[in-house]
Homo-oligomer: A and B are copies of this chain.
Amino acid sequence: MSHMEILKASGFGEAELGGGTLSVATPVDGSEIAKLSEHSVAEANAMIDKAHDAFLKWRTVPAPRRGEYVRLLGEELRREKDNLGALVTLECGKILQEGLGEVQEMIDICDFAVGLSRQLYGLTIASERPGHSMRETWHPMGVCGVITAFNFPVAPWCWNAALALVCGDPVIWKPSEKTPLTALAVQKICERVSAQFGDDAPDGLTQVLVGERELGEAMTAHKKVAIISATGSVPMGRAVAADMSKRLGKTILELGGNNAMIVAPSADLEMALRAIVFSAVGTAGQRCTTLRRLIVHEDVYDALVPRLIKAYEGLPIGDPLADGTLVGPLIDDQALRAMDAALEKAKSEGGTVHGGGQALSDSHGAAAYANPAIVEMPSQSEIMHHETFAPILYVVKYKTLEQAIEMQNEVPQGLSSCIFSTDVRETELFLSAAGSDCGIANVNIGPSGAEIGGAFGGEKDTGGGRESGSDAWKAYMRRQTNTVNYSRELPLAQGIKFDF
């Protein structure tokens, strides 16, 4: 399909794609594919007010009925999987397999949220007073603002939206200014769902803000946005947290990762090799869960690293829409320059660089294709403490597992981590209180590719938020503790006497 065909398949008309101020380019070849109208801050505020009106209605729609909305959304996404997957690839440059995988994640979380809509379990609790009953209930919280990044243009919205909608919260979405089209395509889907769903779906249940950073700031500033769920860089997250702290608003932060894999002597090296390559070069190294640091036991270093370097050399780089491509472009030229700079710094810190540099420079014009790089480092140097959003994999050696874990935990980020080892004493130690300090810790799989059934997110500079499965839904609701006295007495807790 041509780029225009992909856009049309997602329902975009030509008028919609032109005439605005926000230029959207495809990283596939760097060409502009849309010039979109942007929302003003005033418009954003009006949309938030509308969302809040929607909230007042939506919160009293029974949760299982809200679940039906999300079920219909899941069905519509199933129907649109191919179209939306291709659009994801077109707009953010990840290979089609990953574009489709991202839509599949949207579908999965919808299925999960439907079941959740008949749960949203609070607790009934034993009371210490006769004739009293205690319980705790979770209620809808308010408007949920969702800020997403270019690298996962649609799935994180859906992790948030599927839960938020079931939890009774309307959603306003501020996508990356680099990937607004996928957001608009999803909004079209939501509008079809609302039409199908009927009157219970209030106007403004889901909305998209097209534009730059100030629209995000409009959300953090507005009292009626009860929750901000933000995915992106650590500085962005700090800014959101600071803004929200002024009004004591709730945040769900999914910020940077600097994810490591430990390869132990007992590891199955074949599996490790495959996992490393997918984790490190998938999405051209632009996943928050991308593998960035490889900590290899000295005894298996020579058996693994040369083969890895070799594997890198043969990776098919190119048009992410094309069959067989495994490495697509970076999002833009700035990303490529940042990668170059990081590799330079790594060299200056004693690293030996394999690969790196621009790829396919002739054939793809303005697009920023990069050769994935492996950098052998003498030790965990300064540059390794930073997340560079590019396919750079640093490799260091270790002697003892305790030392490897210490290296793994040394960086400020705390998103994902893994160990390749077949020794249960090592794998369980890695998962223990004295092991990885990340929100995600895996054994014999890479750091990326979480299932939606678990809670997703990380600690430290990663921001502490959790999305997706387990009880992540609680972040979208307010908890209320209730005590009901059904007796004719008025006993006080803790046995206090107060008689007048």
Contacts and interface: CB of A to CB of B under 8 A. Distances in A.
Interface in A264-319: 268, 271, 274-275, 277-278, 282, 311, 314-316
A464 B436 CA distance: 29
Contact of A483 (B125, B241, B442): B442
Given A118-B453, A253-B248, A483-B442, A494 B101 contact: yes
Nearest to A120: B126
A67 interface: yes
A46 interface: no
Interface in A436-450: 436-445, 449-450
Contacts of A140: 433
Given A133-B428, A428-B486, A108 B494 contact: yes
A370 B268 CA distance: 48
Nearest to A479: B455
A340 to B, nearest CB: 24
A400 interface: no
Interface stretch (A55-63, A203-211, A380-388): A55-63
B493 A451 contact: yes
Contacts of A168: 433
A113 to B, nearest CB: 7
Interface string A182-207: 00000000000000000000000000
Interface SS of chain A: mixed
Contacts of A488: 268, 271, 425
B490 A128 contact: no
A322 to B, nearest CB: 15
A15 interface: no
A127 interface: yes
Interface in A211-229: none
A42 interface: no
Nearest to A107: B494
Contacts of A314: 500
Given A114-B115, A248-B253, A275 B437 contact: no
Given A125-B453, A136-B454, A454-B481, 9 more contacts: A61-B130, A62-B127, A245-B245, A423-B424, A428-B486, A449-B492, A450-B483, A450-B493, A451-B483
18 contacts: A63-B127, A64-B127, A97-B496, A111-B114, A114-B115, A115-B115, A118-B469, A124-B124, A241-B248, A271-B490, A311-B500, A424-B444, A439-B478, A441-B482, A442-B482, A449-B494, A454-B483, A470-B479
